[in-house]
Every structure is written in C-alpha cells, then in structure tokens.
C-alpha cells in the first residue's frame, strides 16, 4: 500500500499559524492515517534551529546536522504498516528572509531535498507518494507582514518604505518554490496562494483537508482553524515603531508592545 506524505515547508508569513492550528485541532482525525509533525515537536528537538542554522551558514556540516536530527525524530514515529506523514514547519525552508537578507531562502531546495531523502531512507521498501507543499503570498502584503512581525518581535527602527527597499533584491516566493521544484524533479511540489486560501472552506487548512481525502462522514467532522495571526492596524504598528526608536529598556519595551497587541486584538474581537 502506498504511503501518502505531505511536507508543508513554509514559507513564513503565508498563513502557517492557521494551517498548523487546523492540523492540531483535527489531529484525532489525522493520526489513524498519518503521523503528524508540528512545530512544537521540531522546535523542542532542535530541528527548527538546525534548519535555520544551515540557512545562515550553508555548509556540509550544518546540513548533516539537520539531516541527523531529522533522522532521529523519524525514528521515534510509528508508521505501522501503512501510515503516511503530514509535516508543517516553516523554518524547514530556513530563517525568514527579513532576518537573512544575504541569501534569503537560497538553502530551501537543499533543506527540502534532505527532508525527502532522509524520509525515503526511513521508509525504505515502502511505496511513497510525496508532496512538498509551499504556501505563497503576494509580495506587497508579504513584505508588510514581515515588517510588522519584526516590529513586534525585534527592535526594528526602520519605517516600512526603508524596510521594503532593503528587501528589493530578494527572490520572490514563487521563485523559491520553482527552485525547490527544480531540485526535486521526482516529487510533486504544490503551491497555494494565501489570498486564494482565505476564500476557501478551511482557509489555510484547506490543502490539508483535501489531502486527507476523508470519507464524507469523517470529513464532516473537520473543524476550521481557531488560531491565526491577524494583521495589526497601522496605528498599532506606528506605536511600536516609535517605541522601538525610544530609549525604553528591553523589559519595558516588551511590556508596552504586549499592551498594544492586546488592545488591538480586543478591538478586532469587538468589531467582529
């Protein structure tokens, strides 16, 4: 029997939080047919860090470290006689591009090939149907989302226009997907645009619902994702930019940003 494999390897800020929420909340329907690997596992095991380290240094040693850690994790999974695998981890494409401007996602193809090759070795003797899935986003909203993320999580002091100019030379997400496809000619590489997914039944969880191909009575039990990263309003982002440029110490800065996020989220909930 063919084992069906779906490897969601990013990319950052393309609806991955909602996709992983869908998978976690529907895990009881997934586990009988597929082992499930989500970020709480890959990050606890050091896999996520190993992937981002390779994207920074790009050496044989860093790729070997990633492959070894992935092999160790695969050894702990119960595949039984016929179970497949669903994985979702955006860091398996490398460090997000705004923090790795020199190379962007240049190492994503080699990381993807390592994931696939190690998995084939783990399941040697089985017939595998492997799909690598990359979620994409239109460039303008993607860069704005990266800027908003870095404003919130780091002490970024650049306004959006300056930030956007710094990212002008980065390849598009589509180009990254094409490079992965070229690197893995024997594997199906699927792409979906976040803008299209938002209009579909389960949002960013839709490709996974379709992949599961559950019987109608089981498919009716699937639930929509409850978690996502909604865009913060411009006023909140402007406040964060001013805070980042201020002389606040780190503890006070984090506290003030948390209050801004909480206020913005409460406003979104009230207006829904």
Contact 63, 106 (CB under 8 A): no
What pLDDT does residue 228 have?
83
What pLDDT does residue 269 have?
58
Asked whether residue 101 carries a pLDDT value surpassing 70, the answer given is yes
Angle between helices 108-122 and 173-183 (to 10 degrees): 40
**Residues 60, 61, 62, 64, Cα dihedral to 10°:** 80
- Which class in CATH covers the domain with range 2-228? alpha beta
Helices marked H in the chain: 16-25, 27-30, 39-44, 47-57, 60-75, 108-122, 139-153, 160-166, 173-183, 194-197, 206-212, 216-219, 234-245, 250-271
**Residue 128: strand pairing partners:** 3
Angle between helices 108-122 and 60-75 (to 10 degrees): 40
Helix, strand or coil for residue 192? Answer: strand
What pLDDT does residue 268 have?
60
pLDDT in tens, 7-51: 999 999 999 999 999 999 999 999 999 999 999 999 999 999 999
Contact 238, 25 (CB under 8 A): no
The mean pLDDT of 63-71, rounded to a whole number, is: 98
What pLDDT does residue 110 have?
98
Asked whether residue 242 carries a pLDDT value surpassing 70, the answer given is yes
Contact 58, 7 (CB under 8 A): no
- Across the chain, what does the average pLDDT equal? 95
Asked whether residue 61 carries a pLDDT value surpassing 80, the answer given is yes
> How many angstroms separate the CA atoms of 114 and 133, rounded?
15
């Amino acid at each position: 029997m063919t084992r069906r494999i779906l490897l969601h390897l990013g990319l950052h800020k393309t609806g991955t939080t909602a996709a992983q929420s869908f998978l976690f909340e529907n895990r009881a329907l997934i586990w009988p047919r597929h082992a499930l690997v989500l970020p709480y596992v890959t990050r606890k095991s050091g896999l996520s860090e190993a992937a981002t380290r390779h994207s920074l240094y790009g050496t044989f040693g860093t790729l070997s470290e990633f492959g070894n850690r992935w092999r160790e994790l695969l050894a702990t999974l119960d595949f039984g006689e016929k179970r497949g695998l669903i994985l979702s981890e955006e860091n398996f494409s490398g460090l997000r591009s705004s923090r790795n401007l020199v190379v962007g996602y240049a190492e994503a193809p080699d990381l993807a090939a390592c994931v696939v090759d190690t998995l084939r070795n783990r399941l040697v003797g089985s017939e595998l149907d492997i799909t690598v899935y990359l979620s994409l986003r239109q460039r303008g909203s993607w860069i704005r989302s990266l800027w908003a993320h870095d404003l919130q999580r780091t002490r970024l002091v650049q306004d959006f226009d300056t930030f956007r100019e710094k990212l002008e030379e980065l390849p598009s997400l589509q180009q990254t997907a094409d490079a992965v496809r070229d690197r893995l000619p024997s594997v199906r590489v699927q792409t979906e645009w976040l803008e299209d997914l938002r209009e579909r039944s389960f949002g960013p969880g839709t490709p996974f619902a379709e992949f599961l191909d559950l019987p109608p009575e089981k498919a009716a039990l699937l639930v929509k994702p409850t978690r996502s990263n909604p865009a913060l309003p411009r006023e909140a982002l402007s406040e964060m930019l001013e805070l980042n440029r201020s002389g606040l110490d780190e503890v006070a800065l984090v506290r003030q940003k948390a209050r801004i996020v909480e206020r913005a989220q409460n406003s979104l909930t009230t207006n829904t």
